Amino acid sequence: MQAPSVGGVRLPKGGGETIRLARGASLTDFADKIDANPAALVQVLFHLGEMVTATQSVSDDILELLGSEMNYNVQVVSPEEEDRELLETFDITYGEDAGDEEDLQVRPPVVTVMGHVDHGKTRLLDTIRKTKVLEGEAGGITQHIGAYQIETELEGTPRLITFIDTPGHEAFTAMRARGANSTDIAVIVVAADDGVMPQTVEAINHAQAAKAPIVVAVNKIDVEGANPDKIRQQLTEYNLVAEEYGGDTMFVEISAKQGVNIEGLLEAILLTADAALDLQANPDMEAQGVAIEAHLDRGRGPVATVLVQRGTLRVGDSVVAGDAYGRVRRMVDEHNEDVTEATPSRPVQVIGFTSVPGAGDTFLVVGEDRVARQIAERRQARIRNAMNAARRKRVSLEDLDSALKETSTLNLIIKGDNSGTVEALEASLVQLEVGDEVELNIVHRGVGGVTESDIDLATASDAIVLGFNVRAQGKATERANREGVDVRYYTVIYQAIEEIEQALKGMLKPEYEEVELGKAEVREVFKSSKIGTIAGCLVTSGQIRRNAKARLLRDNVVIAENLPVNSLKRFKDDAVEVREGFECGLTLGRYSDIKVDDVIETYEQREKPRA
Ligand code: GDP
């Protein structure tokens, strides 16, 4: 059978074999797999209308398109899968307890506190920590490391609970987005004087999506006008039915500020864990878990708080977290005390990484420093590739030209300093009139800084983020850069509107109109072996310009169109343009059917300005 060809390029042809390519692979990677010349693939894509260099990362779509063109079944491998395969090459399995049923031991629940802003999440986490530290033997000085563990009692038995100490569901979603499910139980805080609010609902959705059982902390019961029953009522709508109403969700009335019924909340967490979950892990294996928080410390270098999920982490272990690696030189707990080993559900701050891992990165202990380094390096390379691919794909205002080929919808996320401005901005934007071919779609709007979950959403929906009188929070900028999300900040409403309007207009496909430039009559025809057929003409109106387009008329009938005017000459000299009343010689590309008395009409396509 003949090899298929596109635009005259002969394609390497597969027999429907499956080819696995990493997300963000380049044409060179593809060519390697099928033993072809990368240049041939570049050419093929060119004929399919895509200009791509051999080493540039390309999108999933392009890889698949190219595959189907050449009869290969392209499978784009997700980063998670790829990572699993990477670890397999070192004989490592992440995410599973080694050994049998007998090797498993009970581990404490890990809790995330979520809820609407100002409902008391931070206060609650502080109160729990303080109450417990006063009781404990530890010195009383606590430091914020991103998580802490407390000891309490349930029916006379001492029990531990781990709290993730970064309130809000952003950290929670960020971790989940990276496949690291760190939370066993979600405590949803609802202020009794305020009731269920948008972020309460969002938090519930996140928890339910993660299949984490929920305990509802009805907070601020000390405030006058607090109405805990209304909250029980409201939450039934979200499938959270209180035990008193015959459901299985525990509602606990507390005051984070006055320290009321904190014990009751801790008890509810443990009871819920015991009833709904079977929390066990094997402590006798090389530790695995997730990095919760990390930063560069001036004195100590990179420090990362990791939550051990299985195995035991010890000083001296070789570790990898995301694309960072190192050896545990020192571990400290939330009381700033040295720890030599950390068992499942224990958060510890690790010193000894050579670079800073990302929050949400998985971490694991490996047998040798060399292996840790190799895994980290392979991941770095992959992140670089993925970043390049993302850059290409994501929309930015400057880049709309290419984006409009795929879509004529401009997706926006609007964040502002208060709901009034956000609404005003949104209202003005949706009123922008730029024609039917393009539309504006507000994917999300909200009050507050640009967060990492805004960036996640922008990534997922190919949106541009507008920040009005607000700035990025936490690692949002870092993430936006990594994902190639365009984030724009404004302080003047008109400026925002103007830029978006320009962007939308830019998305319209340009409209062209023909502008006649001039006419000439053919007086003589010469044939030249070197440059083809030359028409000796007299310009009868307007002007004849080199590189303009021409059509040829004979007896008022168009016999050829879209011909290029080249080698325009006045006598022996090259001319750029020749005006009415003058004679000139010209060729119309390689077109040769030119006769005396033909008329050459020249014109130009000009982009029509938009109103
Ligand atoms: P977050 O945004 O959910 O972290 O809320 P914060 O913990 O920052 O609390 C918001 C405000 O509510 C602060 O001024 C707290 O002092 C106050 N607050 C928190 N819990 C209680 C409570 O139980 N009773 C009263 N009266 N105020 C509280």
pLDDT tens-place string over residues 243-264:
988 999 999 999 999 999 999 9
- Residue ranges for the known binding site for GTP are 115-122, 165-169, 219-222
Same fold, 288-384 and 407-507: no
List Cβ neighbours of 383 (8 Å cut-off, separation of 6 or more): 323, 482
Cβ atoms of 273 and 237 within 8 Å: the answer is no
Please tell me the predicted confidence (pLDDT) of residue 286: 94
Question: 491 C-alpha vs ligand 1 centroid, how far in Å?
Answer: 30
**Ligand 1 atom with the shortest distance to the CA of 116:** 3
Question: For the packed helices 493-507 and 419-430, what is the interaxial angle rounded to 10 degrees?
Answer: 30
274 close to ligand 1 (CB < 6 Angstrom): no
Q: In what order do the strands lie in the sheet with 157-164?
A: 147-154, 157-164, 110-115, 185-191, 214-219, 250-253
Mean pLDDT, rounded, for 444-468 = 83
Nearest CA, atom 17, ligand 1? 120
CATH 3.40.640.10 fits 511-608, yes or no: no
Q: Which long-range contacts (CB under 8 A, 24 or more apart) does 487-490 make?
A: 487/450, 487/455, 487/458, 488/397, 488/464, 490/466
Nearest CA, atom 19, ligand 1? 120
Question: 204 C-alpha vs ligand 1 centroid, how far in Å?
Answer: 19
b/e 278-315 (16+ beta carbons within 10 angstroms → b): ebebbbebbbbbbbbbbeeeeeeebbbbbbbbbbbbeb
**Candidates 3.40.50.300, 3.40.50.150, 2.60.60.20, 3.50.30.30; correct CATH number of 108-279?**
3.40.50.300
Query: Across-strand partners of 544?
Result: 578
| pLDDT tens readout for residues 73-132 | 998 887 778 888 889 999 898 888 888 888 999 999 999 999 898 999 999 999 998 887
The DSSP result for 119-152, as a single string, is SSHHHHHHHHHHHHHHHSSS-S-----SEEEEEE
Mean pLDDT, rounded, for 321-332 = 94
The least confident of 179-193, 347-361, 494-508, 518-532 is 494-508
Question: 124 C-alpha vs ligand 1 centroid, how far in Å?
Answer: 8
Nearest CA, atom 11, ligand 1? 118
Question: 255 C-alpha vs ligand 1 centroid, how far in Å?
Answer: 9
283 close to ligand 1 (CB < 6 Angstrom): no
**Ligand 1 atom with the shortest distance to the CA of 254:** 23
CA 136/CA 149 separation, integer angstroms: 12
Nearest CA, atom 28, ligand 1? 257
- Asked whether the predicted pLDDT for residue 7 surpasses 60, the reply is no
**Measuring CA to CA, which residue among 476, 472, 486 is closest to residue 395?**
486
Under CATH, which number does the domain 288-384 receive? 2.40.30.10
197 close to ligand 1 (CB < 6 Angstrom): no
pTM: 0.61
Q: Is 73 helix (H, G, I), strand (E, B) or coil?
A: strand
List Cβ neighbours of 432 (8 Å cut-off, separation of 6 or more): 440, 497, 500, 501, 504
Question: 422 C-alpha vs ligand 1 centroid, how far in Å?
Answer: 25
122 close to ligand 1 (CB < 6 Angstrom): yes
Residue from 116, 123, 262 to probe ligand 1 pocket by mutation (most atoms less than 8 Å from CB) = 123
b/e 494-529 (16+ beta carbons within 10 angstroms → b): eebbeebbebbebbeeeeeeeeebbbbebeebeeee
Question: 256 C-alpha vs ligand 1 centroid, how far in Å?
Answer: 7
Question: 447 C-alpha vs ligand 1 centroid, how far in Å?
Answer: 19
Residue from 218, 257, 261, 265 to probe ligand 1 pocket by mutation (most atoms less than 8 Å from CB) = 257
Measured CA angle at 276 (ends 273, 278), to 5 deg = 70
188 close to ligand 1 (CB < 6 Angstrom): no
167 close to ligand 1 (CB < 6 Angstrom): yes
**Ligand 1 atom with the shortest distance to the CA of 115:** 3
222 close to ligand 1 (CB < 6 Angstrom): yes
Please tell me the predicted confidence (pLDDT) of residue 169: 57
Please tell me the predicted confidence (pLDDT) of residue 392: 45
| pLDDT tens readout for residues 17-65 | 888 888 778 888 888 888 888 888 888 887 777 777 777 778 888 888 8
CA 471/CA 448 separation, integer angstroms: 8
257 close to ligand 1 (CB < 6 Angstrom): yes
**Measuring CA to CA, which residue among 291, 311, 222, 211 is closest to residue 260?**
222
CA 367/CA 325 separation, integer angstroms: 13
Nearest CA, atom 6, ligand 1? 120
CATH class of 407-507: alpha beta
Nearest CA, atom 14, ligand 1? 118
**Measuring CA to CA, which residue among 356, 358, 323, 357 is closest to residue 86?**
323
User: pLDDT class for 173, splitting at 50, 70, 90?
Assistant: low
| pLDDT tens readout for residues 395-411 | 455 544 544 444 467 88
Please tell me the predicted confidence (pLDDT) of residue 175: 64
Percentage of the residues of the chain whose pLDDT score is greater than 90: 37
Please tell me the predicted confidence (pLDDT) of residue 140: 55
Please tell me the predicted confidence (pLDDT) of residue 348: 96
219 close to ligand 1 (CB < 6 Angstrom): yes
CA 578/CA 538 separation, integer angstroms: 9
Question: 264 C-alpha vs ligand 1 centroid, how far in Å?
Answer: 19
Please tell me the predicted confidence (pLDDT) of residue 556: 85
The least confident of 129-133, 318-322, 452-456, 558-562 is 129-133
392 close to ligand 1 (CB < 6 Angstrom): no
**Ligand 1 atom with the shortest distance to the CA of 117:** 2
| Span between the terminal Cα atoms of the chain, in Å | 55
Q: Kindly list the domain boundaries of the chain, sorted by start residue.
A: 5-77, 108-279, 288-384, 407-507, 511-608
Question: 123 C-alpha vs ligand 1 centroid, how far in Å?
Answer: 6
